[in-house]
Amino acid sequence: MEQNSLNDKIVSVPTKTILYLSVIVFLFGTALVLVGFTDFGKPDSVLKLTSFVVGVIFFIALGLVLLLFYTKSKIESDSISVRSYGITGKFKEIKWGEINKIEFPKSYGKENGIVKVSDGSKTLVLSGLYSRHYNIIELLAEKLDPELYEDAIGKINNLVNKHR
């Protein structure tokens, strides 16, 4: 999916990696079905048949969830707020002025480019699974009160500068 920018609105959509991953999972599920219809894969017991059917359903469902994530989810931000849309079309919105907590989760002891913002009742995750998420993080740094979030703004600027 292409990234869009309308006036001062930034739209961040899932990267193509998610689409490729869903195709690989669908192909694996299809391969399981094809193997199941050959003499090589014919189950000789109810347990083998059941595990085969569960495996096929699992991989097809996983591929469907990934495809829905790719087509339906996005993050939008503008001068007023940031919104995160899920696969059902519902969204969470936090106004820039209502942000009261910023987290920088770590993986293996290192910051991974993910930023979590919260207003106390809702939490939005700005991650690398979305294209242009660094543009939204940069806008976050502009919208935060520098006196309250000096450390967070410094970390945000470091993340954005590493990405450039």
pLDDT digits (tens, 9 = 90+) for 29-74: 888 777 766 555 565 667 677 777 788 888 888 888 888 888 888 8
The three-state DSSP-derived secondary structure of the chain is CCCEEECCEEEECECHHHHHHHHHHHHHHHHHHHHHCCCCCCCCCHHHHHHHHHHHHHHHHHHHHHHHHHHHCEEEECCCEEEEECCCCCEEEEEHHHCCEEECCEECCEECCCEEEECCCCEEEECCCECCHHHHHHHHHHHCCCCCCHHHHHHHHHHHHHHC
β-strand pairing of 74-77 with 9-12 = antiparallel
For the domain that residue 129 is a member of, what is the CATH number? Answer: 2.30.29
Q: Is residue 67 located within the same domain as residue 32?
A: yes
Place of tokens 């790719």: 70
Flag whether 6 is in a domain: no
Q: What total number of domains does the chain contain?
A: 2
Single pTM value for the model: 0.68
Give residue-wise pLDDT tens across range 135-146: 888 888 888 777
**What residues make up the domain containing 115?**
74-163
Q: Is residue 128 located within the same domain as residue 149?
A: yes
Flag whether 9 is in a domain: no
Which residues are paired to 118 by β-bridges? 101, 123
